[in-house]
Structure 1
Amino acid sequence: MTFTNEAPSISNVGLDKFSNQTSEKLNLDTICHMTKTPPPQPYGSAHDLPSVNKIQTELNTALLFSPLLSKDCRRELKRLRAKLREMTKLVDRFYELLGDRNWLFTDDFNLTAAKNIVDTNNPLVAEARLIDYYKSSDYIKFALLRLGRFHEMQPRLKMANLALDDYTSGRYYSTVLVLLTVMDGFVNDVDKKSRKGLHARSEDEMMVQDSVTNHHLGLHHAHKSFIKSFKKTDSREIFELHRHGILHGTLVNFNNEIVATKAWNRLFALADWAESLRKESVTVKKETNLRDLICSFKDTQNRIIEINQWNPHEYNVDTSLQGCSERELPEVIVACTQFLKHWSNFHWGPLGEYFMKQKGTSTTTGKLAYEAKNLYEVYKLENWEILKVRHTAAAIAEVDVKLIINGETHKTSLRWIRIGLNGDATVEWGPGKWKLSMFGPGHFINTETKIV
């Protein structure tokens, strides 16, 4: 689960800088005297994640300025606060039901599906729904495509896809054996500071900062059963991902959908773990001073005045912009047009340039091209039309489009975020570029968008 999906909306009310400087002021002594980063600890609740706390602080700070904001801005702030609470409660409810059974909440879960999974008081029912979710959709297929963003995973994707073939054919034993080797090699390569496979790591080594996998019933908790030793042969059926017993041949009855699905679940949780390691490696704590705080506060006040004058608006592309040259078109339409052109012409490098990446993420044109090809190659865009643009927030534009893909017509919406020169979301009139937020095709192409 990625708590930053809605984060750009916080910038819509212009309070990101203010909240940053507030946080820096409160922690100035700690930062100045810090000699090393403290080891990560498990979070008792998803609400304890630093990213969640940061967003909550921004929302609370924004609400202090309620008298200066329009009714629409106040309504948006309350909606975001309610959404944040809903997301954290969803994660905690998931672990309440399934944490003791060593299932992990991962960033790529569909939130609607996750709500359905936990809408019960019976852990067995929740587990069955989770397995159905893995088996009854293209979830695993798309999740594997996303794993291509890791250079360390790319040599292993062929084996992972073979494991998917085995999984869909009911050869669960093969799925488990293959994915265990994929996990070990991936973890060994992704953490270059400590070249150890997953099996050789302790529970504490699976904890990372600011990741939903670091819930107290998350990855480090599930890792206990993963590395547990089994010295004596046992022919009873097992339902846990006991790596030691399975690969050492002492647990011989693991050919079932529960263990196989847990293997997929663990692999995708490790991707979240690896992503958090990346963020830790590029995070730099910055000292501040009184002048910076004052300037930041003045900038925030000015932005609040500008945003208070902004209102949501929309326009139909076919009627509102007839006769306009490309130079006269709104930037978001130009960006969307170029994105769709590159897609239809298989220009993977330029296509990937429109993907919105987390601030601080290091990437290259080659990596973006590889990721774009993995995601979009199977979706042949034969024709397209931009229908309407809806500016729902100062940094967000929803572009309604009609797409003909592989002979099927879809009517859907592409969510674009205005990203400023510093990598943060910014207002639509500020300097920056429009980036596609949920850029995986599975987010906007599905059975619900198909026009019959």
Structure 2
Amino acid sequence: MTDKKRIADNESIAEMLRLIEGASAIESLWHAIPLLQQAFPRLPDFSEKLSELKEQSKISLLPDRFNELFASSGWIAYESMSLEVMKHAIERFEAHGLEAAEDYLVSTYDADTLKWGIVRFNGHDEFRKRMRLIELAKDDYLAERYHACTPLLLSLMDGLANDVSRHVGLFADNADLTAWDCIAAHESGLQALVTLMTKGRGKTSEESISVPFRHGILHGRELAFDNRIVAAKTWAAFFAIRDWAGALAEGKKTSTPKQEPTWSELLQSLNKTQETKRLLDAWKPREKEDFAYLPCDGLSSSLPENSPERMVAEFMENWRLGRFAPLADSLSHTYDMAMGKKAGEAKQDFGKYKVVSFQIVDVEDRTPAYSTVTIRATFSAENDVFEEVLKVSAGYQDGKGLPMCRLESGGKWALVQNSFRSVIYRNVQ
């Protein structure tokens, strides 16, 4: 267990607050010391942004407030949860009460939230192994088959926690679901949520419930669990487990010593933050007239350099030629894998079918970091030739697999393997 009482005390959040505090101190010193004015002549450019940064820093308090209000009802804050969702849920609670806030939270677990949440599962081996079943759970949820998706997700959670921790399942009495510097794995998060979900359900009940009580559901004692609020809370817990697993993969089970940043480092960090914000504000999605070169019959060299559509074309070319090492290097989840391992996995996943031909049909720039590239491709295998229209999710990311604004230098486009699931799992029943 961590000794931190608030999520806002987590190191990454505390570091941001120290950065703002340090920047404020530097600004004051700059006005008082001529030497600093000579060393950093552009510092006044930051002054107008400081008040904005201070206002933005208030978001660091949202996860604590969210858990305070909703953890006892089966919702917890986690890294990949939208801060806007947290903020609006808190506002709904304060204005209209718990029921209105929960209605809002349930509504946010829609097709888009599930799609982009599941995309992140490709970046972790244990989640990727379970992708077929996760996709089935998603299909059941969107079709309102809550009786099917909820127990499936609960069972997957248990196995995931066991494999991720190399210790015990999620719902075991001695499970430790805390991690240093992780919102989901704060002691007020997953640990508290699992305690709620494992409450004893001693009697068979036909009354509708609003919390995914694991034992009652999987042991057949809760007979009216099949509703949207229980299913949505189960998905929320599943996404929180992914963030906990990510923290463990980054070595955050225990804290590590961290040196205090120098004034120069504080200024560089502040400068980078402002530059990123400027680029995000400047970005605009491309219009239809910008894609005069589409449709394109599979020639990557005819597509713009460092574009998502060119990455997709290069990927398909590598697949057609059986070059699995560069193909694997184009996938978003392989950024930290050894080349031999990722090439081997790519051959196993993509080697069953050959690309006969392909055409880049359309591109939709969805966010500064993501685009969807539509392709029409023909594949072949033994006694099987078929055509598929695929919508390939492409993300612009840094060397650690984190999303970047496409206007920033130093990133690369990477593709989400699950975009090709209809081909990879074509004959999987």
* TM-score in terms of structure 2 length: 0.64
SS at match of 1:231: coil
* Pairing 1:7-406 to 2, within 5 Å after superposition: 39-41=1-3, 43-44=5-6, 46-66=7-27, 67=30, 68=40, 69-85=42-58, 87-120=59-92, 121=94, 122-135=97-110, 137-192=111-166, 194=167, 196-202=168-174, 205-215=176-186, 217-280=188-251, 285=256, 300=265, 337=306, 340-346=309-315, 362-365=336-339, 382=361, 405=374
Query: Structure 1 pair 356/43, CA: closer, same or farther in 2 (3 Å)?
Result: farther
5+ residue gaps in structure 1? Answer: 1-38, 319-333, 375-379, 387-397, 408-413, 426-431, 442-452
| Separation of aligned partners in 2, 1:315 and 1:227 | 46
| Separation of aligned partners in 2, 1:228 and 1:50 | 32
Is the Cα–Cα contact under 8 Å of residues 149 and 367 in structure 1 kept in the other structure?
Answer: no
| Separation of aligned partners in 1, 2:331 and 2:20 | 26
Is the Cα–Cα contact under 8 Å of residues 76 and 190 in structure 2 kept in the other structure?
Answer: yes
Is the Cα–Cα contact under 8 Å of residues 355 and 435 in structure 1 kept in the other structure?
Answer: no
Q: How far apart are 1:207 and its partner, in Å?
A: 1.5
| Separation of aligned partners in 2, 1:438 and 1:83 | 30
Is the Cα–Cα contact under 8 Å of residues 416 and 435 in structure 1 kept in the other structure?
Answer: yes
AA matched with 1:344: A
CA offsets 1:369-426 (integer angstroms, 9 cap, x no match): 97xx99xxxxx9546699xxxxxxxxxxx9799987469xxxxxx9777x7xx9999x
| Separation of aligned partners in 2, 1:339 and 1:232 | 55
Q: How far apart are 1:130 and its partner, in Å?
A: 1.1
| Separation of aligned partners in 1, 2:401 and 2:152 | 39
Q: How far apart are 1:270 and its partner, in Å?
A: 0.5
AA matched with 1:123: L
Give the structure 2 partner of residue 390 of structure 1.
Answer: none
Is the Cα–Cα contact under 8 Å of residues 339 and 351 in structure 1 kept in the other structure?
Answer: no
Is the Cα–Cα contact under 8 Å of residues 105 and 213 in structure 1 kept in the other structure?
Answer: yes
The one of 392, 398, 410 aligned to 1:434: 410
| Separation of aligned partners in 1, 2:253 and 2:146 | 38
Q: How far apart are 1:353 and its partner, in Å?
A: 5.8
SS at match of 1:237: coil
AA matched with 1:271: R
AA matched with 1:54: E
Query: Structure 1 pair 297/341, CA: closer, same or farther in 2 (3 Å)?
Result: same
AA matched with 1:62: A
CA offsets 1:118-163 (integer angstroms, 9 cap, x no match): 331222111111111113x421122112112111112211111111
SS at match of 2:109: helix
5+ residue gaps in structure 2? Answer: 31-39, 287-302, 319-324, 351-358, 377-394, 418-429
| Separation of aligned partners in 1, 2:402 and 2:112 | 32
| Separation of aligned partners in 2, 1:107 and 1:263 | 16
| Separation of aligned partners in 1, 2:256 and 2:43 | 34
AA matched with 2:10: L
Give the structure 2 partner of residue 329 of structure 1.
Answer: none
Is the Cα–Cα contact under 8 Å of residues 211 and 233 in structure 2 kept in the other structure?
Answer: yes
Q: How far apart are 1:53 and its partner, in Å?
A: 0.6
Which structure is higher in RCO with an 8 Å CA cutoff and minimum separation 6? Answer: 1
Is the Cα–Cα contact under 8 Å of residues 369 and 397 in structure 2 kept in the other structure?
Answer: no
Q: How far apart are 1:340 and its partner, in Å?
A: 4.3
Is the Cα–Cα contact under 8 Å of residues 381 and 403 in structure 1 kept in the other structure?
Answer: no
SS at match of 1:251: coil
* TM-score in terms of structure 1 length: 0.61
Query: Structure 1 pair 143/336, CA: closer, same or farther in 2 (3 Å)?
Result: farther
For this pair of structures, how many residues does the alignment match?
341
RMSD: 4.8
Query: Structure 1 pair 78/287, CA: closer, same or farther in 2 (3 Å)?
Result: closer
Query: Structure 1 pair 300/275, CA: closer, same or farther in 2 (3 Å)?
Result: closer
AA matched with 2:241: L
Single out whichever of 345-354 and 104-113 deviates more from structure 2: 345-354
